[in-house]
Chain A
């Protein structure tokens, strides 16, 4: 009986099982449910029949949507934990303290579900532990990436455990992990820096296969710097949505103060974006790539660089000056889209740019369904935890 009541309190939020389930039947949840079911179907199909029937992966395009969206894009978008966590736990920036836990939780879920997608993108998912146990390809960037993913997920768990144990009511474990969390954050800076850069470095090995506008010896730096601004941008958007949806959890929540902090965060966002832009210009000048700008791929490159880096810099500066929080939030969202576009350009569009468009990769509906369902899972679990554990109000 006791466990039952614990279950009711903690998991069902004090409701009856029936009431709880009934409460879940909303139109919004119906859409979520459909995406999840389609995703499970796609996964089952991929497992039973293989890549061939389930995906459009070919020898020309061995990496498709799952690697591009759920790893190349999702991992930098899961960087809020790094950006905010470091500021709060290592540099003691008190202003952002209230943001630390939601940011860490977002990172944890982004990585866990990104890696889960990656596992089923392996031809032999049953051997996923090989690089950790049996076979070490020490010269591979992917080896570094795999290990860093693994370590960083552990780090995220350690950083998240204080909230978890607070919820369970284990005071001593909570305090232990609160202390360990500081060390984990310090290690996390190294680990994330390493693998965010490594995701770009994966493509260093294909100088002839990636379009010269995107191929650069600075690729790892671009990926790292863009992960930092993406982390901040995601956090601005995530906080905006979270603190709006869960208003009722927050008594005496000071929105003025919250907006002031968002604005100060977006100042950092602008600084990092400008640094990124300057690096991109250096890359163009140093390797003398100007001549490629006036080709179809060059125009596309300009869309990415001007549309999704220069324009958000301008709108952010205007927004910060005028203290228009909405502008800043929308610009942050725009920055996120820009990051996704950049990863798609490197991973798919500019990769083997010389083959005719008709041979280019296009995902099947099953690839789209599985990709989206894994992102949806991350959001569902985020909501589940936010509603129960002391993440927002601690």
Chain B
């Protein structure tokens, strides 16, 4: 029992805490604080590479998700937890979910501090067949979180991964607000050194020439890793060759300014919980605002200086300092 748990217990015994729905909810998860270490590891690698490796890459890496092929085995979740040292369970418990009546699939889940990726189940309205959708950080080309962070704790690497610097983060959680995909999660149960956590695109693996952990374990061929341009071509080709099996849309090609995770699907994306309707990065709006503010502040400055100057010189004419009284 660590100090926190001890204190917690004391407060509970002495009746100083009240019933708390979210605590109850979180406690059903077997862990509270995840002790994320991958953020720092990845950031260190990024810093080193910045100095040593030439940063010019022709194209970023991407992952193409084929929702027609995903069978919902959730092994990607297991592999992700395993590689990123997140709290984990035996792989069997993940694999059996899709055969169970009462499983995690009964509700739509989101990423949390200890889970960088989750698989959700939807149903194809026409065929009644399940469609499994893996979600994780989309690694936007022009990410809202990077733009929103007021200490610049997020970076888009030349490889395409969006990564996070735990040594800069102040914990304002504006990135959680800003992300259109609701991906970043916060370690609310860590009182002293909480971090924002999310998928790093296995930056520590791809710089070594490996594929991300989830891609490596996927035996259904639902995840493909490669250069973004090539994968986009591939995605369009798959759709063209199987027009009856896919909706003619590559999610992530333009959505929210484009992402490094791309999806093709048998079901329209709006039915699978994907936010639709914006083909430019939302950061555009805040950038425009910041520019407009500067313009207005510049326009306002000269008249205000004039007013202040006039106000002061009037004062000295009328006998000065007591004017204020």
Within A110-127, which residues are at the interface with B (CB < 8 Å)? 121-125, 127
- Distance between Cα atoms of A130 and B170 in the complex (Å): 7
Q: Mark B166-180, 1 if CB is under 8 A from A, else 0.
A: 001111111011101
- Chain A residues, Cβ within 8 Å of B150: 131, 137, 140, 142-143, 145-146
Q: Determine whether the beta carbon of B314 is less than 8 Å from that of A92.
A: yes
Given contacts A144-B290, A183-B308, A189-B300, contact A208 B173 (CB under 8 A): no
B7 close to chain A: CB less than 8 A: yes
Q: Determine whether the beta carbon of B293 is less than 8 Å from that of A182.
A: no
A206 close to chain B: CB less than 8 A: yes
Shortest Cβ gap from B212 to chain A (Å) = 22
* Cβ-closest chain A residue relative to B305: A186
Shortest Cβ gap from A26 to chain B (Å) = 28
- Pick from A59, A123, A130: contact of B110, CB under 8 Å: A59
A264 close to chain B: CB less than 8 A: no
Q: Determine whether the beta carbon of A201 is less than 8 Å from that of B286.
A: yes
Within A36-84, which residues are at the interface with B (CB < 8 Å)? 45-53, 55-60, 62-63
- Chain B residues, Cβ within 8 Å of A56: 20-22
B55 close to chain A: CB less than 8 A: no
Within B65-98, which residues are at the interface with A (CB < 8 Å)? none
Within B137-173, which residues are at the interface with A (CB < 8 Å)? 144, 146-153, 168-173
Q: Which of A48, A162, A187, A193 has the most CB of B within 10 A?
A: A48
A135 close to chain B: CB less than 8 A: yes
Q: Mark A183-209, 1 if CB is under 8 A from B, else 0.
A: 101110110011001100111111111
Q: Determine whether the beta carbon of B290 is less than 8 Å from that of A139.
A: yes
- Pick from A134, A179, A183, A207: contact of B282, CB under 8 Å: A207
B277 close to chain A: CB less than 8 A: yes
- Distance between Cα atoms of A59 and B112 in the complex (Å): 7
- Pick from A50, A122, A143, A220: contact of B289, CB under 8 Å: A220
- Distance between Cα atoms of A201 and B178 in the complex (Å): 12
B47 close to chain A: CB less than 8 A: no
A372 close to chain B: CB less than 8 A: no
B129 close to chain A: CB less than 8 A: no
Q: Determine whether the beta carbon of A202 is less than 8 Å from that of B188.
A: no
- Pick from A46, A48, A122, A193: contact of B300, CB under 8 Å: A193
* Cβ-closest chain B residue relative to A185: B308
Shortest Cβ gap from A173 to chain B (Å) = 12
Given contacts A58-B22, A122-B170, contact A90 B304 (CB under 8 A): yes
Within B235-268, which residues are at the interface with A (CB < 8 Å)? none
- Chain A residues, Cβ within 8 Å of B300: 189-190, 193
Q: Determine whether the beta carbon of B293 is less than 8 Å from that of A194.
A: yes
Stretch of B189-197, B203-211, B213-221, B226-234 lying at the A interface: B189-197
Q: Determine whether the beta carbon of B283 is less than 8 Å from that of A131.
A: no
B321 close to chain A: CB less than 8 A: yes
Q: Determine whether the beta carbon of B20 is less than 8 Å from that of A59.
A: no
Q: Determine whether the beta carbon of B20 is less than 8 Å from that of A136.
A: no
- Chain B residues, Cβ within 8 Å of A182: 308, 311-312
Q: Determine whether the beta carbon of A134 is less than 8 Å from that of B186.
A: no
- Distance between Cα atoms of A141 and B193 in the complex (Å): 25
B18 close to chain A: CB less than 8 A: yes
Shortest Cβ gap from A65 to chain B (Å) = 14
- Chain B residues, Cβ within 8 Å of A167: none
A217 close to chain B: CB less than 8 A: yes
- Chain B residues, Cβ within 8 Å of A205: 144, 147-148, 177-178, 282-283, 285-286
A29 close to chain B: CB less than 8 A: no
Q: How large is the interface on B (under 10, 10 to 19, 20 to 34, 35 or more residues)?
A: 35 or more
Given contacts A142-B172, A220-B289, contact A131 B151 (CB under 8 A): yes
- Chain A residues, Cβ within 8 Å of B277: 208
- Distance between Cα atoms of A291 and B275 in the complex (Å): 20
Q: Determine whether the beta carbon of A50 is less than 8 Å from that of B191.
A: yes
Q: Determine whether the beta carbon of B173 is less than 8 Å from that of A217.
A: no
B59 close to chain A: CB less than 8 A: no
- Pick from A140, A178, A220: contact of B324, CB under 8 Å: A178
Shortest Cβ gap from A232 to chain B (Å) = 20
Q: Mark A147-169, 1 if CB is under 8 A from B, else 0.
A: 00000000000000010000000
Shortest Cβ gap from B255 to chain A (Å) = 10
Shortest Cβ gap from A235 to chain B (Å) = 19
- Chain A residues, Cβ within 8 Å of B123: none
- Chain B residues, Cβ within 8 Å of A144: 290, 293
A28 close to chain B: CB less than 8 A: no
Q: Mark B1-42, 1 if CB is under 8 A from A, else 0.
A: 000100110010000011011110010000010000000000
Q: Determine whether the beta carbon of A135 is less than 8 Å from that of B285.
A: no
* Cβ-closest chain A residue relative to B197: A59
- Chain A residues, Cβ within 8 Å of B171: 122-125, 127
- Distance between Cα atoms of A124 and B193 in the complex (Å): 7
Q: Determine whether the beta carbon of B296 is less than 8 Å from that of A193.
A: yes
Shortest Cβ gap from B151 to chain A (Å) = 4
B301 close to chain A: CB less than 8 A: yes
Q: Which of B170, B283, B300, B305 has the most CB of A within 10 A?
A: B170
- Pick from B22, B170, B173: contact of A52, CB under 8 Å: B22
B50 close to chain A: CB less than 8 A: no
Q: Determine whether the beta carbon of A365 is less than 8 Å from that of B170.
A: no
Q: Determine whether the beta carbon of B17 is less than 8 Å from that of A53.
A: yes
Given contacts A186-B307, A194-B297, A206-B178, contact A123 B32 (CB under 8 A): no
- Chain A residues, Cβ within 8 Å of B186: 51, 57, 59, 62, 123
> A-B pairs with the 7 shortest C-beta distances?
A123-B171, A50-B191, A52-B189, A135-B151, A62-B173, A62-B176, A186-B308
9 contacts between A and B (CB under 8 A): A51-B194, A57-B188, A59-B111, A122-B171, A123-B194, A124-B169, A139-B147, A139-B290, A217-B285
Q: A58-B188, A140-B174, A208-B276 are in contact. List 7 more A-B contacts (CB 8 A).
A: A52-B188, A92-B314, A134-B151, A142-B148, A186-B307, A198-B289, A220-B293
